[in-house]
Structure 1
Amino acid sequence: MTRRAPFAALLGGYAISVAGTSMSAVAIPWLVLSTTGSAATTGLVAFAEMAPYVVAQALAGPLVDRAGLRRAFVSGNVLAAIAVGAIPVAHATGVLTLPTLLTLVAVAGAVRGTADCANGALVPTTASLGGIALERAAGLNSGANRLALLVGAPPATAVVTLAGSPLVVAIDAATFAAAAAMGAIWVRVPRQPTTAPPDRTAPDGTRSDRTATGGTATGGTALGRYGRDLAAGLRFIRTDRLLLGLITMIAVTNLLDQGLAAVMLPVWARERFGSAGALGVLAGVGGLGSVLGNLLGAWLGPRLSRRALYSVGFLVGGAPRFLVLVLAGTLPSVIGVVLVSEVFAGSLNPVIGATAYERIPENLRARVLGAVRASSWIGVPFGGLFGGYAIEALGTRPALLAFGTVYLLTTLAPFVFPAWRQLRRPDPAPVGDRHPAVA
């Protein structure tokens, strides 16, 4: 087995499972609509899956640390395969009631969130083992996610039309099983350290005790140890001003992005063109731009200034998408701006990922990265809500202008606040301090 095989297997398994999830994102809503005819019920099922997923991202870190990253990744995918696979079985046997479906998707969301929490921490671990630059590792991981989302939906639509939704959901279950098998066979990594040196220096220069940096306290109940482990991750985030700034900025922009994608763009397309055709074109162009941006960021990230790439990427990749909808009158001009903006926005992921990987101690990665991702997504459920109310209160163009203005002001933060000066590649360690990873 080559030293890069664990990273390649992790990336491949993750992409396969995300593609399957993208297929289920088409099939399960269609299954609910075709059996109940209720949009409200469809939304309830979507919420029942996503809420446990986000909560698991935030809370599963200490459990993932104790179980081990590889074991948590494999177990989470196995359990997801079982939960998702039970849906077509229950449908075929006539016992798929709404409470049953809600229970199964909630379990699937929770265990999928746990597996993805482990995946996030495995990316830098396997990349370091293979000698892969962290910017490239983060970019490839994010690019695999975007590409899998892009290629999963079209075949799902065709299979749903030809063979029905349950078959697509069964395929999704098989992708989780494939991801688990790839992780079990090929993802071999060094054993994680269980303690950290006392009196570690936090990224902002403050000193933290052993527990705050991930040391395992002895004694107490399992629940008490879990609480201390979880609190250690949250304390680390609180003491790292750059990481806290990244989380806040991404949470705000994710909320605004969701408002644009879920409400504002569909309303704009309906008012301007009277059909969903333009919306489909823009979604495809945006997805393509995002994949290209991730790949470019993975390639150029190690060669460019992180602060410049992040600052310019957010500036070009954010507000212009809102403003062009206000100012432009033709679809080609909107397509051009969306494509360029998504390329720049996609290039951000390698910078964000590499920065987080480097600043978070290895024995804290699962719990901190999970909390970071959950915090970054905290505004997503409210994005569509705020977008809809803004359009109702102000009208489409003023609402787009308001969201675009807030986005622009948010993306000026790296140019203004001193904490963003830390957004740089760390100095290389002296040769004597480098320790090769042990397979």
Structure 2
Amino acid sequence: MTAHTSTEALAEGRAPGRRSLRPLGGVLAAMAVSSTGTRISAVALPWFVLVTTGSTTRTGLVAFCEMVPYVLVKALTGPLVDRAGPRSVSWVSDVVSAIAVGMVPLLHSLHALSFWLLLVLVAVVGTARGPGDLAKEVMVPEAAERASIPLERAAGLAGVTERLASTVGPAIGSSAVAFFGPLTALTANALCFVLGSAVVMLTLPRRGHASPAPSLSARPADSGYWRRFGDGFRFLRTEPLFLIVVVTICVTNFLDAALTTLLIPTWARESGNGPSAIGLTSSVLGFAAVGGSLIAAAAVHRMRRRVVFFAGFLLAGAPRFLVLAADVPMWAVPTVFAVSGFGVGFLNPILGAITFERVPRPLLGRVTALADALAWAGIPLGGLVAGAAVTSFGLTAVLLAGGAAHFLTTALSALRPEWRGMDTPRGREALKT
């Protein structure tokens, strides 16, 4: 754990040596409100495009135009987050996101929102969200140190926060869409981004004071952008566990994006269940994932990570595709999503703890950015490919193929020897020596 000087502690309004929960609370609160807004948009925006255009291909194109800049910009802004500080990047990104999302209902009310202008606005949102999400993730380990809690627990709390957002956001989004229309839900999304920006500015210190790792201390403070960017790639190349994680998550994220952005809304429309079914499935999955994340936050440091991780992975993926493809009563769908959600809850806390353990603090922004961007590289294509596939082959065939692909990816990846490193954690101090 990094020590702080008395001057720094007093500057932050706390006594030397006393833990401070305020930064961790601020990070988690900012993650909560921003992620909730994003989940609201995930219901409202596809439904808005579906009901106004009737095109699954255009719906997939909207998701594509948001996620491509999200992934690309997130990959490139790691050195910026490490250099400028995650606090500034976070609140500025949320302000830009709020403005871009708020323009959608405003321009539509003025009859000035063409489909191509909508694509530009969602691309701006994706461009801003990438650095903003990265910055909040990077702030977690230092906030955990200030609060004097284990990294596994901090990662678990971040996972719980994300899952709560995944629960509350779709519920708010589907209710707002059902009662007030999708544009009202998008306005709520913009307000969430504004609130997230305010939380970061009011609760977090202006700059962190983490000590640099000795192995990197020789790097000049003003070294060039591409040189600092290359540090992240060099670190990733030395970590085979990180590489296999990235490849596996990339494939499953592609399939999950197809499910959430296109296949579930299409199923809700074709089945006659409407937008409330989207919110129900997402909320049930989110509530169950919160339970899994709470257990992970309390006990993940005592678990055999690899066994728990792949058990959760198998529950989280294929069952959701298959239940939507089957002709089952409506009550069976949220039941299966609840089981999948419980498995989902264990994934990110384990991955977050591994990242915080293995990545030196000065490299955290750029390594996390590259790993996340590579793992998310398939997400922009998920809705786009799914929309074209549904048009060509029908919803049921695409759901069955997606479920089979998810199961095979998880099962085959589990056979790789690199995953054994998941159960041999290395602390941050070991990396600095």
The answer to whether the superposition gives a TM-score over 0.5 is yes
| Conserved? CA contact 2:59–2:383, under 8 Å | no
Shift of the 226–265 alpha-carbon distance from structure 1 to 2, 3 Å rule, reads: same
> What's 2:192 paired with?
175
The C-alpha deviation readout for 1:95-135, integer Å capped at 9, x for no partner, is: 55555544443223212211111111111221122122222
Q: 1:233 maps to what in 2? A: 232
**Partner in structure 2 of residue 304 of structure 1:** 303
Contact 1:17 1:176 in 2 (8 A): yes
**What is the rounded CA distance, in whole Å, between the counterparts of 1:392 and 1:97 in structure 2?**
23
The one-letter amino acid paired with 2:194 is: A
- 1:80 — aligned with what? 97
Q: 1:413 to 1:241 in 2, by over 3 A?
A: farther
Match in the other structure for 1:313: 312
Q: Aligned residue for 1:379?
A: 378
Give the fraction of aligned pairs with identical amino acids, expressed as a percent: 40
TM-score normalized by structure 1? 0.78
- What is the alpha-carbon distance in structure 2 between the residues aligned to residue 100 and residue 118 of structure 1? 28
**Pairing partner for 1:20 from 37, 40, 49:** 37
CA shift in 2, pair 1:269/1:161, >3 Å: closer
Structure 1, unpaired ranges of 5+: 201-209, 220-224, 435-439
Q: Is the 8 A contact 2:31 2:196 kept in 1?
A: yes
The structure-2 alpha-carbon separation of the partners of 1:363 and 1:319, relative to structure 1 and needing over 3 Å to count, comes to same
Query: Is the CA contact 1:83–1:108 (under 8 Å) kept in the aligned structure 2?
Result: yes
Deviation per CA, 1:60-88: give whole Å up to 9, x if none.
11111111111211222233233334445
Tell me, in whole angstroms, the C-alpha distance in 2 between the residues paired with 1:254 and 1:354: 20
Distance 1:36 1:323 in 2: 28
Match of 1:66 in 2: 83
Tell me if structure 1 keeps the 8 A contact 2:358–2:427. Answer: no
Deviation of 1:8 after TM superposition, in Å, equals 0.8
In the aligned structure 1, how far is the partner of 2:116 from the partner of 2:400?
Answer: 42
> C-alpha separation between the residues in 2 aligned to 1:30 and 1:298?
34
Corresponding residue for residue 255 of structure 1: 254
Deviations, residues 16-68 of structure 1 (Å, cap 9, x unaligned): 12222333344455666677776665554443333222222111111111111
Offset of residue 416 of structure 1: 2.8
After TM superposition, list the pairs within 5 Å mapping 1:36-435 onto structure 2. Answer: 43-90=60-107, 96=113, 98=115, 100-159=117-176, 166-188=183-205, 190-193=208-211, 196-198=213-215, 215-216=219-220, 225-261=224-260, 281-322=280-321, 335-384=334-383, 403-412=402-411, 415-424=414-423, 426=425
What TM-score comes out, normalization by structure 2 length?
0.79
Q: Deviations over 1:211-252 (max 9, x none)?
A: 8xxx34756xxxxx2222222212211221001111111112
Distance of 1:60 and 1:170 partners within structure 2: 27
**How far apart in 1 are the matches of 2:181 and 2:321?**
37
**TM-aligned CA distance change 1:257 to 1:87, over 3 Å:** closer
| C-alpha separation in 2, matches of 1:111 and 1:285 | 29
Question: 311-320 or 132-141: which moved more?
Answer: 311-320
What is the alpha-carbon root mean square deviation over aligned residues?
3.9
- 1:369 deviates by 1.0
Could you tell me how far 1:383 is from its partner in structure 2?
3.6
Unpaired runs of 5+ residues, structure 2, are 1-13
> Aligned partners of 1:293 and 1:348: how far apart in 2?
9
* CA spacing shift, 1:108–1:413, aligned 2, 3 Å: same
Q: Is the 1:140–1:298 contact (alpha carbons within 8 Å) kept by the matching residues of 2?
A: yes
Show the 5 A alignment for 1:1-12: 3-12=20-29
Change (3 A) 1:159 1:216: same
The AA in structure 1 aligned to 2:170 is: A
Q: 1:334 to 1:50 in 2, by over 3 A?
A: closer
Q: Do the aligned partners of 1:306 and 1:425 also contact (CA within 8 Å) in 2?
A: no
Hey, what's the Cα distance between the residues in 2 that align with 1:429 and 1:37? 51
2:415 and 2:171 map into 1 onto residues whose CA distance is: 43
* Contact 1:68/1:192 (8 A) holds in 2: no
**Contact 2:90 2:135 (8 Å CA) reproduced:** yes
Distance 1:51 1:429 in 2: 32
Residues 311 and 414 of structure 1 are in contact (CA less than 8 Å); yes or no, is this contact kept in structure 2? Answer: no
Aligned 8 A contact 2:170 2:279 in 1 = no
Paired residues in the alignment total 413
**Cα 1:190–1:46 shift into 2, 3 Å:** same
1:322-370 residue CA offsets vs partner (Å, 9 max, x unmatched) = 5667788555555544322320222111101110111111111111112
- Say if 1:278 and 1:331, in contact at 8 Å, map to a contact too: no
Specify which structure has the bigger relative contact order, considering alpha-carbon pairs within 8 angstroms and separated by 6 or more residues: 2
- Which amino acid in the other structure matches residue 371 of structure 2? V
